[in-house]
Amino acid sequence: MPVGTQGTVKTVPQDTLEALGAEIILGNTYHLYLRPGHEAIRRMGGLHKFISWPHALLTDSGGFQVFSLNELRKVTDDGVRFRSHLDGSSHFFTPEHSIDVQIALGADICMAFDECTEYPADRSRAEESLRLTMAWARRSLDHFRAHRHEVPWSDPKGCGMQCFGIVQGGMYTDLRRQCAERLVEMNFDGYAIGGLSVGEPRDLTLEMIAETLPLLPKDKPRYVMGVGYPDEIEQYARMGVDMMDCVLPTRAARHGLLFTSQGRLNIKNKQYAEDQGPPDPACDCMVCRRYSRAYLRHLMQAGEALSGTLNSIHNLAFYLGIMQRVRDSLAPATGNQEAGSLKLEARS
């Protein structure tokens, strides 16, 4: 899922995302809450309409961003007080408030408010953090069920909106298990594995996913948050992960890092100054069909905004292409063309 932090997948127009075959994008609750504000978005009919994205949308709970504001937050059992990175104003997020904001945004999938346990965290710290996450999951889900009908459009039952729980537990497999079992009892619409890709070694990421995934119901979407590199997402998808999100393809693109079938390519390198080949000879995306490495390097060197756009389009095409190939390879075994793919119908 391409990440659209502030209601835009950075540098890429929505029609291009459609042409790339993106079926779902993310919005960040924290950012949209601060600007333009969830009530403004609600008044305008919700995030789909506001950003003109008539396809699936997922909003995070705001938790991850808030917990990234190291110096600007204070956590209690009730919630988190934090200061805006924009103007220093004080805000208080509870599980209930996070869900309220997400309902106002009206994404197809909202996420329970959790605490993303930092890495490293010792066992007592991870246990304490998990206690918060599990209490907040309960409160998030209860509030979601009571208020899901308050979406920004006419939908008395609010049936279309889903709420996912997030498994935390640091790097302790028994805590992960405890959390997963508790969340599954609560019967969320889907389950995420959070608190990964926070600085831990990759084999630990893999171990946590491998241990946690089997505990989550196969008939509901299973989502690993915040990953990853191309080989990672393919590996996790083949393990049974249905959804992943990461800023990496677009953020790396803006810094000149292209993901290709031949590995990573830093387009700023002088060796590409007169390289008339496409960014990735094996790629059929609109950028690789039209532009050369030399041109992309020139745009980067010249500080031209088109650089970010073209690099992002290629990287997204590369990521989406990986997932498409995984789906294609799964299809014969299951006899289901949609295997491994979450299909959501967005409201209009």
Active-site positions read 60, 245
Q: Is 250 in the site for a second copy (CB under 8 A)?
A: no
Q: Is 294 in the site for a second copy (CB under 8 A)?
A: yes
Asked if 340 and 330 count as a contact pair (C-beta separation under 8 A), the reply is: yes
Least distance between a second copy and beta carbon 86 (Å): 10
Least distance between a second copy and beta carbon 236 (Å): 29
> Among residues 35, 74, 123, 325, which is the contact residue for a second copy, using CB under 8 A?
35
Asked if 109 and 162 count as a contact pair (C-beta separation under 8 A), the reply is: yes
> How do beta strands 162-167 and 109-111 pair?
parallel
What the block records as the tokens of 238 is 């083949």
Give CA torsion, residues 343, 227, 138, 344, to 10 deg. -10
Ordered DSSP codes for 1-46: --EETTSS-TT--HHHHHHHT--EEEE-HHHHHHTT-HHHHHHTT-
> Among residues 186, 239, 286, 339, which is the contact residue for a second copy, using CB under 8 A?
286
Binding mask 97-126 for a second copy (x = CB under 8 A): ------------------------------
> Among residues 173, 235, 266, 301, which is the contact residue for a second copy, using CB under 8 A?
301
> Among residues 94, 133, 309, 315, which is the contact residue for a second copy, using CB under 8 A?
309
> Among residues 30, 33, 50, 172, which is the contact residue for a second copy, using CB under 8 A?
50
The residue (of 274 and 338) whose beta carbon lies closer to a second copy is 274
Q: What stretch of H or E contains 222?
A: strand 222-224
Q: What stretch of H or E contains 298?
A: helix 293-301
Q: What is the DSSP letter of 327?
A: H
Least distance between a second copy and beta carbon 244 (Å): 23
- Which of these ranges, 30-38, 120-128, 158-166, 205-213, lies near a second copy under the rule CB under 8 A? 30-38
> Among residues 11, 29, 59, 168, which is the contact residue for a second copy, using CB under 8 A?
11
Asked if 80 and 132 count as a contact pair (C-beta separation under 8 A), the reply is: no
d(CA 116, CA 106): 23
- Which stretches of the chain bind a second copy, using CB under 8 A? 6-8, 10-15, 31, 35-36, 40, 43-45, 49-52, 273-274, 276, 286, 290-292, 294-295, 298-299, 301-302, 304-306, 308-310
